[in-house]
Chain A
Amino acid sequence: MTKTVAAASGAGFREAPAGSEPAVELDGVTIEFALAGGSVFQAVARADLNVGKQEFVAIIGPTGCGKSTLLNAAAGLITPASGSVRVLGGPLDGLNRHAGYLFQQDALLPWKTALDNVAIGLEVAGVPSREAKERARAWLARVGLAAFGDRYPHMLSGGQKKRVALAQVLIRDPRIILMDEPFGPLDAQTRLIMGDLLLKLWSADRKAVMFVTHDLEEALGLADRVVVMSAGPSARIIGDFPIPLSRPRDISEIRLDGSFQELHRDIWHMLKKEVLKAYGEIAQETAS
């Protein structure tokens, strides 16, 4: 059993004037896990990150560095040991009610049909069932699954499940969207299609996005900014690259763009060292 170490201080912040503040502000966020046997594992150390209200930020880093952990802190699913998380100008207390979270693992309710899975977020918010279903049907159509409403999750392919999950999150119209390697398990073509779909939905109505990935090309294709995390433990944010590629983008074509390749080279230069470090640690662990 592990447990997050509770926040040490509850320093009060003054509310900034509405409208100007970022959607998510991570300020010196340190996250620790209490391990069995009493030792403490520091996953993330003093991470600073601001995400603007209409900004698409990709977070990239070697596997196991603490990307999901950082996202969980922004979601309010875990409390940092120190540092502060602010959401839309106010300190985050408990779950982040403004955020929608697309999880890395399958998280659809297996006993509900695709339609009911999408509608549930509205229903629990008090929307009458008929209206919720109506709107869920429209969302399923938007993600290309109009004909799949009465299927249960196990009857859907990996990519279809991710689309349902996307509709499930977006139907609630959250102001902040957290995505944890949402297209990780999908094949290359499906990832491209899902990326395009995501950009289409996002650009219709820009929200703050924190998009975790380990795929640099995906990050560059989607984001306004790419943030690089160092290898863990005590992972930090070590790079912050604006991506000034024009929108709307076509993810498969943008890869041929000259500035895309330049950015790729710069960021990969930094990321590679961290990946090798993480790899070295894994190698050491297996050797000992």
Chain B
Amino acid sequence: MRRTSLLLMQGAVAVVIIAFWQIASTTDLIGDPNNISFFFSTPLAVAAQIWMWFATGTIWHHLGITLWESVLAFVIGSVAAVGIGFWFARKPRLAAVFDPYVKAANALPRVVLAPIFTLWFGLGIWSKVALGVTLVFFIVFFNVYQGVKEVNTTILANARMLGMNDRQLLRHVYWPSALSWMFSSLHVSVGFAVVGAVVGEYLGAAGGLGYLIQQAEGVFDVAGVFAGMVVLAAFVLLIDWIVTLAERRLLVWRPEFSKSGR
């Protein structure tokens, strides 16, 4: 009951926005419709464009590229971050030496790296993957680092009293703790993987959703730009939903993810 009424209300928001958009861009209630539709296009034109993409099937190619880049960026960034985060957390001196460099690298706006990556990795997918990795890496790295550092001392003492050696502590205590911190930032890191891919495509590519939007912008095809954004938003929502499913499976032991709690 509550779920359906929530869905209805969420749908109503979209209907209101689209209705307002339609009215503003086709009638002179708000202003000159020619002017407004030039800058904002019209819902029908955008829908027609999306329909075209799916009917002809051209969109799948671009979606596939963006998805593949995002997945690669997420996996490579996460694996590297878990490894290095673990290593640093267990070696405080090493972490102290690298601390200013990690902070400096993280403070750098990633967009400035995009041209360099294009130079290094070419116009193909790898320059976009690299951009995504630089975004994903730091989120996961800081979380894993924190997770290993802040293992509850009583749990640790208990594990040691239960007879665990260093290797077993790593496997049964540090590792699950670090992973749970990593998973708690899953939405953000997956989102950043997509951002890296799309921004990279936008700045120079031969395919992908970012490329599609950039192409439309280049010819002032406002309907194309909006259609690209709508498809991108749907794509991100879908991925976010998959992440939520994964999270519920992986973090059943956490109070906030147990089924009875919802």
The residues of A with any CB-CB pair to B shorter than 8 Å are 75, 77, 95-97, 99-101, 103, 105-113, 120-121, 124-125, 152-155, 168, 172
Contacts and interface: CB of A to CB of B under 8 A. Distances in A.
B25 interface: no
B254 interface: yes
B101 interface: no
A105 B154 contact: yes
B155 interface: yes
A101 B158 contact: yes
B154 A103 contact: yes
B79 interface: no
A103 B157 contact: yes
Contacts of A168: 162
Given A77-B161, A109-B159, A111-B180, 19 more contacts: A77-B157, A95-B160, A101-B157, A103-B154, A103-B158, A106-B154, A107-B154, A107-B157, A107-B158, A108-B158, A109-B173, A111-B176, A111-B177, A112-B253, A124-B164, A152-B253, A154-B258, A155-B260, A172-B163
Contacts of A110: 155, 253-254
B161 A124 contact: no
A77 B162 CA distance: 13
Contacts of A100: 161
B255 interface: yes
A172 B162 contact: yes
Interface of B is mostly: helix
A120 B154 contact: no
Given A107-B154, A109-B173, A111-B180, A99 B161 contact: yes
A125 B154 CA distance: 20
Given A107-B155, A152-B258, A155-B258, A95 B161 contact: yes
Contacts of B260: 155
Contact of A124 (B154, B168, B255): B168
Nearest to B157: A77
Interface string B172-208: 1100110010000000000000000000000000000
28 contacts: A75-B161, A77-B157, A95-B160, A101-B157, A103-B154, A103-B157, A107-B155, A107-B158, A108-B155, A109-B159, A109-B173, A109-B176, A110-B253, A111-B176, A111-B253, A112-B253, A113-B253, A120-B162, A120-B172, A121-B162, A124-B165, A124-B172, A152-B252, A152-B258, A154-B255, A155-B258, A155-B260, A172-B162
Nearest to A75: B161
A63 to B, nearest CB: 18
Interface string B229-262: 0000000000000000000000011110010100
Contact of B163 (A105, A109, A121, A154): A121
A105 to B, nearest CB: 5
Q: Which 3 pairs between the two chains have the least Cβ-Cβ distance?
A: A107-B158, A152-B253, A111-B176
A75 to B, nearest CB: 6
Contacts of B164: 124
A12 B255 CA distance: 51
Contacts of B160: 77, 95
A109 B161 contact: no
A101 B254 CA distance: 25
A97 B172 CA distance: 19
Contacts of A125: 163
A110 B157 CA distance: 14
Contacts of A97: 163
A106 B155 CA distance: 8
B157 A109 contact: no
A63 B157 CA distance: 22
A111 B179 CA distance: 11
A152 B255 CA distance: 9
Contacts of B163: 97, 121, 124-125, 172
